[in-house]
Structures are given as structure tokens and as C-alpha cells.
Amino acid sequence: MNKRFFVTFLVGSAMLAASCNSGGIRRNPGKIYAPDMTYSRAYDAYTENPVTANGLTSQEPVPGTIARGHALPLHLTAADTSAYYALQSPYKFTEAEMTEGTRLYNIYCGICHGDKLDGNGPLYKDGAGPFAAAPANLKGGAAYLNMTIGKMYYAVVYGKNVMGSYASQLNVKQRWQVLAYIKKVQSKNGGAPFTLDAEAGATTATANTAKDTAAAKPAMKTDSAVAKK
């Protein structure tokens, strides 16, 4: 056999083998440090899963758990009107949170009830707007000035008369923020005193602590004086 032909044959065979390996006909990736990173064992959402008890990859939340940032559920329905009307705000708001409540009111409520809460929003506009009848004047009468905040909350969640529900637009805290703003305005127009100010509550608590401390000091002096005698 011609020596040159033999060398050419060997070189050609080696090149062919190399090209076959690089083309995927035969592939040896070698050692893999973390095979689960290379070959994923994850299951896609909404697919069958042989690992879980119900055979589904996507699982429901554990009963009783609450998503981060969400409030405790009320477990009340639209039929539980008495329970809703008796609700009180679980929050007290800082000045910044009250400012946010004002902003949310102007976005979702002011178009009907007006930025002054007088029912003369853009949709009524002194009778020149699209609405034939004026929305509720939230500071114009005892019925609204004295309405419980829980009853207002019920209206926000389920709607009232021609007013629709705003449960999908406002989360739990935002609803109470809006209502706190309304109650603060009402308190300045003949309504009950406003009690949802967190900073005022903190000031009161500090003042009470100072009073208690001051009251205790004379007693301590008296005891010392008695001890000296």
C-alpha cells in the first residue's frame, strides 16, 4: 500500500471523526458538576406532576396563609350588613398616609362626590354634567356626617345604588385611607371627632407617660424625706 495514501487515509478518518463528534452524532459532555442545573428537573406551571398529591404542579396556598402585604380576611359576605356596619378601621394613619388617602379619593371618588365632598363632581357639574341627579353630598347632612365608617366601607366594597363596587380598584388599606380622609373632612363640618390620626395618638400616649412620670416624682421625694427622718 502506498505510504502517502495510508497517511492521507488516517488524517481523513481523524477529521471525519472530529466533524461527526462536533456535529452531534456522538457527544460526550464529560463530567457534570451539577447535573440538575444542566438538565432541569423543574415542572412547568399548570402541568401534571407525579410528585404532588393531587397530580398538579401549581398548588393552592396553605389554608389560613395571607399573601405578603395583604390584610387579614374578614370572612364576611354581602349579606353580613350588620357586621360590616359595625366595623372600625384597623389602621391609624400618619400625615403621609392621609395625604395618600386624599389622592386616592380624588382619583376614584372625586369625579362623582367632588373634591370638596359636596356631590358636585365633574359628572354632575351643577347640573350641566352627564349625571341628571347630584351624587351624595358627604358633608351636607346628618345622614352622611353621622354614617358609620363601616357602612361606608360596605358601600366601597359592594357598591350602593348607582355607585359601583371599588373593591378591585382599592386594596383593604387604601379603602380605609380614603374613608379616613372623608371622616377627617366630616369632622370639620359637624361630624364626629376624627380618631384615626396615628401621630395624634402617639402624642397623646407620650403626654400621658409624662404625666404619670411627673406624678410619681413627688411620691418618691416624700418617701426619701420620710426615710431621712
Grid cell of 140 as nine digits? 351636607
**How many Å apart are CA 166 and CA 174, to the nearest integer?**
11
- SS3 labels along the chain: CCHHHHHHHHHHHHHHHHHHHHCCCCCCCCCCCCHHHHCCCCCCCCCECCCCCCCECCCCCCCCCCCCCCCCCCCCCCCCHHHHHCCCCCCCECHHHHHHHHHHHHHHCHHHHCCCCCCCCCCCHHHCCCCCCCCCCCCCCHHHHCCCHHHHHHHHHHCECCECCCCCCCCHHHHHHHHHHHHHHHHCCCCCCCCCEHHHHHHHHHHHHHHHHHHHHHHHHHHHHHHHC
- SS3 labels along 12-31: HHHHHHHHHHHCCCCCCCCC
Are 105 and 185 spatial neighbours (Cβ–Cβ below 8 Å)? no
Residues 29, 34, 35, 37, CA torsion sign: negative
How many CA atoms lie less than 13 Å away from 39 in the CB half-sphere? 4
- pLDDT averaged per 10 residues in sequence order, the chain, 229 residues: 68 66 56 73 87 93 84 89 95 96 97 95 91 91 94 96 94 96 96 91 44 46 42
pLDDT at site 155? 97
pLDDT at site 10? 73
CA angle 15/19/23 to nearest 5° reads 175
Instruction: Express the helix, strand and coil content of the chain in percent, nearest 5 each.
Output: 50, 5, 50
User: For residue 81, what are the CA distances in angstroms to 77, 88, 90, 150, 193?
Assistant: 8, 14, 18, 9, 24
pLDDT at site 6? 65
| Domains of the chain listed by start with CATH number | 81-199 (1.10.760.10)
pLDDT at site 101? 97
Residues 132, 102, 157, 151, CA torsion sign: negative
Are 177 and 156 spatial neighbours (Cβ–Cβ below 8 Å)? no
